[in-house]
Structure 1
Amino acid sequence: MFGKRAQDPAPTTIFRSDRICRVNGEFYFNTREGTQEGPFASREAAEREIKAYIARMQVSVPSQLNATSLVELNPPPGA
C-alpha cells in the first residue's frame, strides 16, 4: 500500500501486518510506537484494547502538541 500518514514527511510504502500475536496462550498486540501491550485472555479482548489504545493515542497526541506549543510561546524565565 502506498500512502502518507500525517507524521510522514513524504508518501511511502506502508506494510500492513497483524498486530496481535499469541505467546504461551496469551494475546498481545504491537504498537507503532514499538511497545507490546498485553497480556489479554482472548483475541477479542486484545482487539477491544487496540481500539481503546488508538482512541487514547488520538487524544494524547493533540494534547502533547498543544503543550509543546504553549511552552514555545511562553518559554520559562531565563530560557
Structure 2
Amino acid sequence: MSDMMQRSEDVYGAPIPVRTDRFFAAQGAWYFSTREGSSIGPFEDKNEAKRGLEDFIEFMTLAEPKTLDQLHNALAS
C-alpha cells in the first residue's frame, strides 16, 4: 500500500477519528465549528470561512498557553 493512500489507522495503530465538515451556512452566512464545539463567523462565503479557519488554526498554533487558556474559557461560556 502506498503512503499516499488514505489510512484507517495512524502509525501507532489507533483508529483515525472520523472528520466531519466544519463549515455550515445559516441565515445567509457561513461559519466554521471548532473542536471545542463553538461556531465562528459569520463569513460572507465558504471560502472566507475556510480562510477564517486557517487563521484560527494558525493563532491556536502560535498563541501562548495563557492566551489559549483564556480562549478556551471564553469559548466554553
> Shorter-chain TM-score category?
0.5 to 0.7
TM superposition outliers: structure 1 runs of 4+ over 2 Å = 1-4
- For the residue of structure 2 that corresponds to 1:32, the secondary structure is coil
Aligned pairs, number:
58
User: How far apart, in 2, do the equivalents of 1:22 and 1:36 lie?
Assistant: 11
1:16 to 5, 14, 19: 19
Please list the CA deviations of residues 12-63 of structure 1 after superposition, one character each: whole Å capped at 9, or x if unmatched.
4401111100001110000102111001111111010010000000112xx2
**Greater RCO (Cα-Cα under 8 Å, separation 6 or more):** 2
Q: What is the TM-score of this pair, normalised by structure 2? A: 0.64
Equivalent pairs: percent with the same residue?
A: 30
1:1-79 aligned within 5 A: 1-3=8-10, 11-60=14-63, 63-64=64-65
Aligned equivalents of 1:23, 1:14: Cα separation in 2: 26
Higher-Rg member (1/2)? 1
Give the TM-score, by structure 1 length.
0.63
Structure with the higher strand share, 1 or 2: 1
1:3 is aligned with what amino acid?
D
AA aligned opposite 1:32: R
